[in-house]
Chains A and B, each alone.
Chain A
Amino acid sequence: MTALVIAEHRGGQLAASARRAVSAARRLDAAVELLVIGGEEAAAAAEAAAAVEGVERVLCCAGEAYAAQLAEPLAARVAELAEQRGYTAVLAAASSLAKDFLPRVAAALDVAMLSDVTAIEDAETFQRPLYGGSVIARLRCREPVRVMTVRGTAFPGASDGGEAPVERLEPGAAPALSRLLEERLSDSGRPELTAARVVVAGGRGLRDEAGVRELEALADQLGAAIGATRGAVDDGLLPSDAQVGLTAKVVAPELYIAVGLSGAIYHVSGMKDSRVVVAINTDEEAPIMQLADYALAADLFEALPRLRRALAADS
C-alpha cells in the first residue's frame, strides 16, 4: 500500500496545502510518497518536501512541459506513474490546480474519484460534503487506486522532521494541448486566504469604497486575509479571488470576522469550520448572526473603528 501525494509548489516553495495532504495520506495506512512536478524550480521545492515528516520518498519530475502546470501534461505523467509504480492511492489538496488535473488522472485509470474529502476513517471509508456542505456523505471506495482531493482545512499540516530521499524522474508523458498565455495573480501583500490565521470578510453591506477601506484597515491591523461573498464580488467591491464559499475558497481560520454579509448557505459552507466566528451586521435576523460565536448588531462604519481602537488598546 503506497499513496502518492502530488504536492503543490510555487517559485521553489512547497505549498502549505501539501503538508495537509501528507497528513491525510498517512490516514490511509499506506507509505507516503510525494511528487513534486513542474519546471526547473521543482527541484528546490522537492528539497523542502524531503524534510516533511512521514514522507518516505520524494519524486521530483522537472521538465519544460510541466512548467505551466497545465492539466493535460500533469495528468498524463501522474497517471503514467500510478500505473508503472502501482500506487493504491493518488491524492492532492483540493485547489483549483488539483481540481483541474486529478479528474483526468482518475479517468485515465478508469476509477471513480472522491472530491473534497473531509475525513478519512480507514483506507476505504471516506466522508465528503454534498449539497453545498449541507449534507455529509460517508462513502466506501474499493477502487484499485483511490483518487481524491482532500480539503486542506480538514487535516493538520505535517511538520518537518523527515529525511526522505529525493528521486529524480525524467519527464514522461506530456501531451501538448493547451497553452498558457498569461497568469495574473493578485498580490495584495496579505496572507494567502486559505492559509491565513485570521480572515476578515465582507458582503454587500460594505456598500461602497468607504466600507471596503474599513474592512481593509481591520484586516491590516490583524494581519488578516480578506474574504468576500459572491454579492460583494458581483458588485465590484472585492476581487473574485477573495470569494469564500463552496464554489470558491473554503477556509477554516482561527478567527473569521464576517462584516455586512447575511450568511447565505454557499458562503457559510465555505467558512463554517472556522474556530471562532464573529458577525457584525445591522440585521439582527441575518443567518450569520445565528451562526456566529459573537454577534454584534451594529453599523460597520461605527463598529469597525471602535473595534480597531479597542483591540489596539488591549494589546
Chain B
Amino acid sequence: MKVLVAVKRVVDDNVRVRLKGDGSGVETAHAKKAMNPFDEPAVEAAVRLREAGVAEEVVAVSVGEPGCEEVLRTALAFGADRAQLIEAEGELEPLGVSKALAAVAEREAPGLILLGQQATDDDAAQTGPMLAARLGWGQATFACALEAGEGEVRVTREVDGGKRDVAVPLPAVVTADLALNEPRYVKLPSIMKAKKKPLERQALEALGVDAAPRLDLLEVSEPPARPPGVRVDSAEALAERLRNEAQVC
C-alpha cells in the first residue's frame, strides 16, 4: 500500500502573528514558517506504517508557494520516501486544496491519505473531509489512534464527550489529532538524507484544477481585549467579590 500524507506550511506556532497596517490581512511574508503542527503526527503515523511493513511507500504532498519545499523536506526527514510540491500562487482555500489533493490521489492511487485535522493558520478543519468527499472515500477525522487491518483502518476518534472507534474501508482519508502519536525528533543525518530524496514540482494549473478563492476577506482585526481585572488577596475576598460584585455564586 502507498500512503499519501499532505502537509501545509504555516506561520510558526510560536510566532505572534501581526496584522497588516491597513487591516487587509495577516502579515505572513516575513514571518517564520514551519510545518503545521497537526501534520506532524500525520507524517509520523505514515512513516510508522511503512516501518511496520503495512505501507511500502510514503509520499508527502504540499500545495502552495515554492517555499513549501521546506516543509516537504521536513516530511522527508521524518522518513517519507519522496515528495510532490503542487505550486500555486496566492490565497488557497480548503476547497481548492482538496481538489488539488484529489487530483494527486487519482494519479498516485494511495491506499490511505493522512492529513492534520486542521491547520493552525485558518483553523478550518475542512480539507480532510472535503478530500474524502471528492474521492468518494470513507473518512475518520480527529484520529487519536490508528491501526491498519485487512482492507480497512481502525481508528479511534476524539469526539465531544468521549471517543469513537470506527473501521473505514480502504482507500480512506484519516485526519490526525495531536494525540495520535509523539512525532520523532529528527536528527541531523535524516535532515541531510532528506535533501537527496526526490521532490517533484508541478504547477497547480497542470492538474486541471480550479482552486480560485471563493470567499472575500474584507478585513482582519484583533479580538476586543477584556477589561483589566483586579487582584484579590485571599480566597475569602474572592468569594465576596464573586457573590456580591460579579453575582455569579
Contact = CB atoms under 8 A, between A and B. Distances in A.
B242 A311 contact: yes
A138 B159 contact: no
A113 B235 contact: no
A101 B129 contact: yes
B239 A103 contact: no
Interface residues of A, number: 87
B47 to A, nearest CB: 22
B218 A139 contact: yes
B17 A108 contact: no
Contact of B222 (A116, A136, A185): A136
Interface string B188-229: 000000000000000000000000011111111111001101
Interface in A126-174: 129-143
Contacts of A291: 226, 229
B241 A181 contact: no
Contacts of A295: 229-232
Nearest to B122: A130
Contacts of B229: 277, 290-295
Contacts of B130: 103-104, 106-107, 113
B95 interface: yes
A102 B133 CA distance: 10
Interface in A184-229: 184-186, 192, 194, 198, 222
A254 to B, nearest CB: 5
A224 to B, nearest CB: 10
B183 interface: no
Nearest to B11: A131
A115 B137 contact: no
B55 interface: no
Contact of B17 (A70, A75, A100, A134): A134
Chain A CB within 10 Å, residue with most, of B120, B127, B130: B130
Nearest to A182: B165
A140 B169 contact: no
B238 A95 contact: no
B124 A135 contact: no
B240 interface: yes
Contacts of B226: 272, 277, 291, 293
Interface stretch (A22-30, A47-55, A296-304): A296-304
B243 A314 contact: yes
Interface stretch (B56-64, B106-114, B138-146): B138-146
B121 interface: yes
B179 to A, nearest CB: 7
Contacts, number: 253
B243 A114 contact: no
A255 B246 contact: yes
Interface in B116-163: 117-118, 120-134, 136-142, 144, 154, 157-163
A139 B93 CA distance: 13
A131 B121 contact: yes
A255 B161 CA distance: 21
A77 interface: no
Given A96-B158, A99-B141, A111 B238 contact: no
Given A75-B133, A177-B168, A310-B236, 9 more contacts: A71-B141, A72-B132, A103-B94, A104-B130, A134-B17, A142-B214, A290-B229, A291-B226, A306-B236
22 contacts: A71-B129, A99-B129, A104-B129, A115-B124, A115-B126, A129-B223, A132-B120, A134-B16, A134-B222, A134-B223, A135-B26, A138-B221, A175-B136, A178-B140, A180-B166, A185-B162, A230-B178, A241-B161, A241-B163, A247-B38, A272-B226, A307-B238
Interface of A: 70-72, 75, 95-97, 99-108, 110-116, 125, 129-143, 175, 177-186, 192, 194, 198, 222, 230, 240-241, 246-247, 249, 254-255, 272, 275-278, 280, 290-298, 302-304, 306-307, 310-311, 314-315
Top 4 closest pairs, chain A to chain B, by CB: A177-B138, A310-B239, A306-B235, A112-B214
